[in-house]
Structure 1
Amino acid sequence: MTLQTINIDLPSDILLTLNESEVELKKRIKISLAVQLYIQKKVTIGKAAQIAGLSRFQFETLLSENEISISSLEIDDVFGDIEKLK
C-alpha cells in the first residue's frame, strides 16, 4: 500500500496544549478522520480501519465504545429480510 502525505497547519503550541507527542496527535487525527469518514458513509469500515491504522476488530471496538453503529442496516432492511425468508 502506498501512502499519501498531507501537511496541515496547526498552532505552534498544540502539542503543549494537548500534552501529547507528535506521534500521539497524528494517531488521534487519523482515527478522528477515519471515524468521521465512516459515519458520513464516505468509506467502508475496512477502509476506515486502514486510515486509522487499526485492525478491523480494533476499529469496530473503538466504534462500539463510542456508541457508533458498525452496521449500515436499517430496521426496514431487517424487516424486509424477514418477510423474504417467510
Structure 2
Amino acid sequence: MNTKTYPIELPHSAFSALRKSPSEFVQEMKYAAVVKWYEDGLISQDKAAEIAGLSRYDFLQLLSRYQVSIIQYTQEILDEELNNALSEDRH
C-alpha cells in the first residue's frame, strides 16, 4: 500500500496518560479511526483492514475489542429487511 505521513501535534502528556509509547499511541489512533469509519458506514471491512494494516480476520477481532458489531445496517436497509420479512410471514 502506498502511504503518506501527516504530522499531528499532541501534548507529551497524551502518551503518559494512556501509558503508551508514541508509536503505540499512533497505532491505537489509526485503529480507533478505522473502527469509527467502518461503524459510520464510510468504509468497508476490507478497506478498514487495509488502512489499519491488518488481515480481515484481525480487523474483525479489533471490532470485537472496540465492541462494534461486524454487521452494519443503515436504518434504511434494516427497515427494508424487516418489511421483507413481515411480508413473507403474511404469505
TM over 0.5: yes
Using the TM superposition, give the Cα deviation of residue 62 of structure 1 relative to its aligned residue in structure 2, in angstroms.
Answer: 1.9
Deviations 1:6-61 (A, max 9, x none): 11111122222222111111110100010111111111111111222211111112
Out of 67, 71, 84, which is 1:80 matched to?
Answer: 84
Segments of 5+ residues of structure 1 without an aligned counterpart are none
- When the two chains are superposed, the root-mean-square deviation of aligned CA atoms in Å is 2.3
**Structure 2 length normalisation: TM-score?**
0.73
Inter-partner Cα distance in structure 2 for 1:50 and 1:72? 18
**What is the aligned-residue identity percentage?**
32
Q: Distance in 1 between matches of 2:70 and 2:80?
A: 17
The whole-number CA distance in structure 2 between the counterparts of 1:65 and 1:14 is: 21
Q: Distance in 1 between matches of 2:29 and 2:63?
A: 15
TM-score by structure 1 length? 0.77
Which residue in 2 is equivalent to 1:61?
A: 61
Contact 2:60/2:70 (CA < 8 Å) preserved in 1? yes
Distance 1:13 1:72 in 2: 35
Q: CA deviation at 1:75?
A: 6.5
Q: Distance in 1 between matches of 2:30 and 2:16?
A: 19
Q: In 2, are the aligned partners of 1:15 and 1:22 still within 8 Å (CA)?
A: yes
Q: Over alpha carbons, which structure has the higher Rg?
A: 2
Is there any run of 5+ residues in structure 2 with no aligned partner, and where?
A: none
